[in-house]
Structures are given as structure tokens and as C-alpha cells.
Amino acid sequence: MIDRLVGLICILLGSGAIWHAQTLHVPFAADPVGPRLFPTIIGAILALGGCALVARPGRVELEFGTWPRALAVLVASLIYPLLLLPLGFILATALLCFAGSLAFHARPLPAAVSAVATAVVFFVLLDTVLDLPLPRGPLGI
């Protein structure tokens, strides 16, 4: 069932790639092949692979652990880029690590301590020692 679904997605993606390649408008071609042929072939391979999966699906056991924890890490990761510039590296990273620590079964207080420590250590290591500028927050840190 899962394999059929994956196959179907591959067929869609493959056909999408082929269609996209055909819409490319080439003002001039330096070589006789142009930019269309290669994506067309690859799209076809993807679609064919998808067909093979739909026709002869294997058995996939979808195993999830405690997936809400992975989801929590994911949500934190998605919010992180939005906070990075407004809050600065240290604060944003501490929040990311705090959420991450909780997801990895930490109690709130140790999680907060380790999150702040991680953020500060990386900031000092990357920004101060290795001279790779990281965004600073409103307070200049």
C-alpha cells in the first residue's frame, strides 16, 4: 500500500519534471542537445520506477516511534530560521535546543541550562574563536 503511494508520487513527480522540461524556452542553444533532454530522461526514469513500484509493490512496514517528539523537533527547526535574525543567534539557538532537549526526555530545568550553555558555547566557538559572524540580537549578543 505504502509502496503504491510512493510509486504514484514518483509517477507524478517524474511526469511533472518531463512537462517542466518541455516548457523550457531556450533562446539560443550552445549545443545540439540543450537543457531539455536530460531532465526529460531523468523524469522518465523516475516515472518508470514509480510504475514498477505500483505494479509490484513490496511490503513496507511503516514504523514510527514516539513521532510527536520528532514533530516537536521539526516544528522547532521550522521556527528557528524565522527567529534567528530578530532574536540573534544565542537566544534563538537556546530556544531550539530547549525544545530539542525536552523532546529527548529532559526535565525543564536541566534542559534550559544545557540549552543556554550550548548556544553560548557555539556562539563563542564560531563567532569569537573562528571569526564566522553569527547574527546578534537586539541586545548586541
Partner 1 sequence: MDAFSALLTGFQVALTPLNLAVAFAGVALGTAIGALPGIGPINAVALLLPLCFALKLPPETALILLAGLYYGSGYGGRISSILLNIPGDPGLVMTTLDGYPLAKSGRGAAALAISGIGSFVGGTSAVILMTFLAVPLARLAMSFGPADYVALMVLSFALLGTMSEGKAVKTWIAVALGLLLAMVGIDGGSGVERFTFGSLELLGGIDFTSLTIGLFAVAEILVLAEGMISGVVSRTGDGARLTLKEIVFCLPAMLRATGLGFFLGVLPGTGASVASAMAYTAEKRISDKGTFGKGDMRGLAAPETADNAAQTGSMVPMLALGIPGSGTTAVMLGAFMMYSITPGPLLFTQRPEVAWGLIASMYIGNLMLLVLNLPLVGLFARLLLVPAWILYPGILALSYAGVYAVSNSPFELLITTAIGILAYLMRKVGIPLIPLMLAFVLARLLEDNFRRALSLSDGGYEILFSTPTSIILWILALLAIGWPLVRQMQGARAPAPGEA
Instruction: Considering only residues 42 through 101, tell me which ones interact with partner 1, judged by CB under 8 A.
Output: 42-43, 45-46, 49-50, 52-53, 56-60, 62-67, 69-70, 72-74, 77-78, 80-82, 84-85, 89, 93, 96-101
> Which of 56, 73, 57 minimizes the C-alpha distance to 65?
73
The binder of partner 1 chosen from 12, 19, 22, 110 (CB under 8 A): 110
Is residue 19 part of the contact set for partner 1 (CB under 8 A)?
no
Shortest distance in whole angstroms from residue 51 CB to partner 1: 10
Size of the site for partner 1 (CB under 8 A): 81
Dihedral Cα 106, 111, 117, 121, nearest 10 deg:
50
Give dist(CA 83, CA 109) in Å, integer.
22
* Residues 87/136, Cβ–Cβ less than 8 Å: no
